[in-house]
Amino acid sequence: MIDHHDIRRNACMLRGPLRHRGYDWWWHSFTAQDAETGEDKPFFVEFFLCNPALAADVPVLGQLPENRAAGRKPSYLMVKAGCWGEDHCQLHRFFAWKDVKLHADAPYRVEAGDCLACEEALRGSVSVDPAQAAAHPEWMCDGGEMAWDLALDKQIAFNVGYGASKPLRDAEAFAMYWHAEGMKTAYRGTVICNGRRYTVCPEKSFGYADKNWGRDFTSPWVWLASSCLTSRRTGRRLEHSAFDIGGGRPKVYFVPLDRRLLGAFCYEGKEYDFNFSHLWLNVRTQFSFEEGADEVRWRVRQESVHAAMETDIRCRKKDMLLVNYEAPDGTKRHNRLWNGGNGWGTVRLYDRVDGALVPVDEIDATHVGCEYGEYDEQDR
């Protein structure tokens, strides 16, 4: 079952070995409207936790030259916030672990300063002086200001299931885990970004909320998701639908698998599951990423014994950013990780009937969250 909410899997997973070499983050993305012009603007807020067992009195930044020279691994809470569009930015605020209040069990709760993340609320602020950001590349961010006060209603989940039900026992099985408690999430509240005020309305937020945790990041790294969907068959908005695709090249006990993706479409209550770890579905996947002069493009085809889904998404490069993370071991391998929030394209759904694929619908998708990055394995 795809749409199975489980806040236990949305709890903090930094236990056992992951306390010394592990990350855990809660990602939130949504669309707001400019209070003056009414124009749509996509935003994101993320709470990224890293290596609590290596805590110091100050945030330990892994890209700081003296820390790299001394072999010090990163350890902090990083609050990442920003927006997409031609004026895109990513802003980072770091907290030492001693300044973090963490309720690790479900329902999770993370607090530091005026920043808060939990199942129902998201509040905080980030302010980075542009000159200071340029002088401190170890911050891995731009300059700017953003504040937010939001309520969350997670309406549709994508519960991938495999490997995460017993996180302590399986902490070393996969390098990167995933759970989307809010594949479709309604947001309500306000955002102030670089001097402009934005209103967030549930029916126009087209929101998303998920989490990743583990000891390393996948390469290639793929993510596509949207709940702003319109049926070409009926011409109507699909109000109770969302799709989500993620993965790339998962590693099990340090052994990389062939290029694999997890995919799901909740189509007005009917579930389409393309989870490669569900062996009984016999999922087969093909995907590609193309970078042109002005656009990037994802093409994904997934088939199972029951259905098929063809996804074709584009996003303008000028609206995207190259999102920055450092791994728990202190390396920064992803240096060209494209990240956007206003992609668009189509999804075609098929049912398999008596062995043949029968079209269900062709869906127009907008406000698509999208991501792709890949690094050379020799850089490990």
In this structure, is the dihedral angle defined by the CA atoms of residues 215, 163, 161 and 111, taken in order, positive or negative?
negative
What's the pLDDT tens digit per position in 200-220? Answer: 999 999 999 999 999 999 889
Q: Is the separation of the CB atoms in 167 and 179 below 8 Å?
A: no
Query: Cα separation of 155 and 206, whole Å?
Result: 11
pLDDT in the model for residue 152: 98
Could you read off the pLDDT of 356-380 as tens digits, one per residue?
999 999 999 999 999 999 987 654 4
Range 50-64 average pLDDT: 98
**CA 262, 267, 271, 277: dihedral to nearest 10 degrees?**
0
The per-residue pLDDT for 254 is 46
Q: pLDDT confidence of 247, banded at 50, 70, 90?
A: confident
CB 219 within 8 Å of CB 333: yes
Residue 161, pLDDT score: 77
pLDDT tens, residue by residue, 73-121: 999 999 999 999 999 999 999 999 999 999 999 999 999 999 999 999 9
- Find the mean pLDDT for residues 54-61: 98
Q: 7-379 sits in which CATH class?
A: mainly beta
Backbone φ, ψ for residue 41 (5° rounding) = -145, 120
Q: Give tens-digit pLDDT for 120-158.
A: 999 999 999 999 999 999 999 999 999 999 999 999 999
Torsion of CA 34, 38, 42, 45, to 10 degrees: 40
Torsion, Cα of 207, 18, 66, 220 (10° steps): -50
Predicted confidence (pLDDT) at residue 294 exceeds the cutoff of 80: yes
| pTM of the model as a whole | 0.95
- What pLDDT was estimated at residue 213? 95
Q: Which class for 88: exposed (0-12), middle (13-18), buried (19 or more C-beta within 10 A)?
A: buried
- pLDDT tens-digit profile of 343-357? 999 999 999 999 999
Is there a contact between 60 and 76 (Cβ–Cβ < 8 Å)?
Answer: yes
